[in-house]
Structure 1
Amino acid sequence: MIEFKDVTKKYDGQTALNNLNLTIHDGELFVLVGPSGSGKTTLLRMINQLVKQTTGTIKIDDQDVTKVDIMELRHQIGYVLQAGALFPNMTVEQNAGIQLEQFNWDVREKHDRICELLDKVGLDSKTFLNRMPSELSGGEAQRVGIVRALASQPKFILMDEPFSALDPLSRRQLQELVVKLHKELSTTIVFVTHDMQEAIKLADRLAVIHNGDLLQLGRPREILANPANDFVAEFFDDSTTRSLFLSQVTKTGFGRLQEDGDEPVTLDDSKTIFDWADLLNQHPRQMIIVDDLILEPQDLVAYMAQIGQVD
């Protein structure tokens, strides 16, 4: 667990973070979202003490991060930077295993670990092990960066806008990869982005940061349905996020008139497709009624496929 208590950061008298209180639970995929310059990257870098707070306390598993050995702290934290940040004169295997050198892993164990992870992130180890960074696409380089962060089996992974420079297809593929890895490994991931669509897609919970203040904290559907203030509402107000509400599903043409034998559950049109998905997770064949129309489980699949095509 990562805890921030009354944390403030100032640079030359300017406040970057203002008296912030926040808890990130073990096993969460936690997203920090906000516009550029909001303070979210500063917050992320405080976790591994690349940036030190001006006042307040940060604890990892009840240990004050300022009172533990800095190398010991960072050994339990993987870090994925923007654009991969690979060493240009080192092979993929060397880049991916660089932290394992510090732990004195056996050469064979290190090789096997990197091969395992390369295959796990969709890079064939036989093909990519000896490639140089200049031979990789942007998406491939970021996959190697993810392998490097995971190699030593850290408890926490920090990801600082890792996909911001990628094309839309690579970005979408890597978002799906992060969700998949998170489910498989149950590692705590703290992910920074200024893209609200990315935040909604990835987050178990997310925190909205603006001008150094924590404006809202919660699950994506909670924030979409009940934004804390006008800034949060406007930040998430675009064509994609609006389409996540059930009212938009029926307006798009999905749904049918109720027939004899139908046993729908009524959901208000202000609910989101996340509420619908949660219901179907518990009752896979459940029909719902929205705006006097019946929606069936296959309608959700078709609607999400349509959103994917638009994106």
Structure 2
Amino acid sequence: MIELLNVNKEYEGQHALDHLNLTINDGELFVLVGPSGSGKTTILKSINRLVVPTSGQVKINGKDVANENLQQLRRQIGYVLQTGALFPNMTVAENASVQLDSLKWPTAKKHERIAELMTAVGLDPDHFLRRMPSELSGGEAQRVGIVRALACKPELVLMDEPFSALDPVSRRQLQQIVINLHRNLDSTIVFVTHDMHEALRLADRIAVVHNGQLQQIGTPSEILTEPANSFVSNFFADEQQTDQLLGQVLASGFGRPAQPDEPGTRMVKGQSIFEWATALKQSQLDQIIVDNQVLTDHDLIDYLASLGTEGDSH
């Protein structure tokens, strides 16, 4: 568990974080959102002490990070930057195994771990491990950055707007990779983004930050359907109008509890109804399962009809 307790950070008399309190639970994919300069990246960097608070405490599993050995602390935390940030004079294999080399992993065990992760992010190790960073696309480089961050099996991974420089197709592919990795790995992920759709698609919970203050924490569905104030409502207004999410469908009362071992494409509440329609088209089944709730093709039609009715009432 990560705790920020009354954390304050000032730069030249200005609050980057204003006595902020925040708890992130073990195993969450927790997303920080807010406008530029809101303090979301400052929160992220305070966790691994790239930023030191002016006052307050940051704790991981009850231990104040200020009292931890800095090198040991960072070895236990994976960190994915805005770009892949690969060393240009090192191969993909060498870049991916930097942390494992520092921990003196045996060569065979190291290669097995890197090959496993390369496959998980959609890069064939036989084709990519010998390449240099200059031979990679932006999306490929960022995938290698993810492999490097996960190589030593950290319990915590920090991701600082990792897909912001990528084209929409690469971005969407990498979002799905993060969703899949989070399902399969026993790690907590703290993810910073300025992309509202990305936040809604990825998050177990979202924290909305503005002027260094926490505005709301909630699930994607809660943020969209129960905004805490006008700032949160306005911040997500475009998403509410243009991209209805599965969490909103469930919040509207559609669906029924899934039976044990009931078949259905597994999806998450942050995915859109358009992705739902695509999943139905690609599957022989007429239903999906979201948060242990079954949604059928009839639910999709009824939900779309309800949106039309709402629009007619205004």
> Under a length normalisation based on structure 2, what TM-score does the superposition of the two structures give?
0.81
Q: Which residue of 2 aligns with 1:26?
A: 26
Pairing 1:297–2:296 present: yes
Pairing 1:272–2:248 present: yes
| AA aligned opposite 1:30 | F
Residue 112 of structure 1: CA displacement? 1.3
Q: Which runs of structure 2 are paired with 1:1-311 in the superposition (5 Å)?
A: 1-238=1-238, 240-243=239-242, 272-275=248-251, 279-280=255-256, 282=258, 297-299=296-298
Equivalenced residues, count = 272
CA-atom RMSD in angstroms:
2.5
CA distance in 2, matches of 1:279, 1:22: 32
Residue 169 of structure 1: CA displacement? 0.5
Residue 276 of structure 1: CA displacement? 6.0
CA distance in 2, matches of 1:245, 1:94: 43
CA distance in 2, matches of 1:303, 1:10: 51
CA distance in 2, matches of 1:280, 1:133: 48
| AA aligned opposite 1:273 | V
CA distance in 2, matches of 1:160, 1:224: 23
Describe the SS at the equivalent of 1:198. helix
Q: Tell me, which stretches of 5 or more residues in structure 1 are unaligned?
A: 250-270, 286-295, 305-311
| AA aligned opposite 1:282 | A
> Against the structure 1 CA distance between its residues 58 and 277, is the aligned structure 2 distance closer, same or farther, given a 3 Å change threshold?
farther
| AA aligned opposite 2:138 | G
Describe the SS at the equivalent of 1:272. helix
Describe the SS at the equivalent of 2:109. helix
CA distance in 2, matches of 1:141, 1:230: 39
CA distance in 2, matches of 1:277, 1:137: 43
1:3-47 CA deviation, whole Å, 9 max, x = no partner? 011000001111100010000000000000011111100100000
> Under a length normalisation based on structure 1, what TM-score does the superposition of the two structures give?
0.82
Q: Which residue of 2 aligns with 1:293?
A: none
1:243-293 CA deviation, whole Å, 9 max, x = no partner? 4559xx9xxxxxxxxxxxxxxxxxxxxx812436984453679xxxxxxxx
CA distance in 1, matches of 2:298, 2:113: 42
Residue 241 of structure 1: CA displacement? 2.8
> Against the structure 1 CA distance between its residues 67 and 161, is the aligned structure 2 distance closer, same or farther, given a 3 Å change threshold?
same
Percent identity reads: 58
> Against the structure 1 CA distance between its residues 297 and 277, is the aligned structure 2 distance closer, same or farther, given a 3 Å change threshold?
farther
Q: Is the 8 A contact 1:45 1:51 kept in 2?
A: yes
1:61-117 CA deviation, whole Å, 9 max, x = no partner? 000100111111111100000111111111100000001111011112111111111
Q: Is the 8 A contact 1:197 1:241 kept in 2?
A: no
Q: Is the 8 A contact 2:255 2:296 kept in 1?
A: no
Return the index of the structure with the highest Cα Rg.
Answer: 1
CA distance in 1, matches of 2:253, 2:120: 27
Describe the SS at the equivalent of 1:122. coil
> Against the structure 1 CA distance between its residues 192 and 108, is the aligned structure 2 distance closer, same or farther, given a 3 Å change threshold?
same
1:177-203 CA deviation, whole Å, 9 max, x = no partner? 100000001310000001111100000
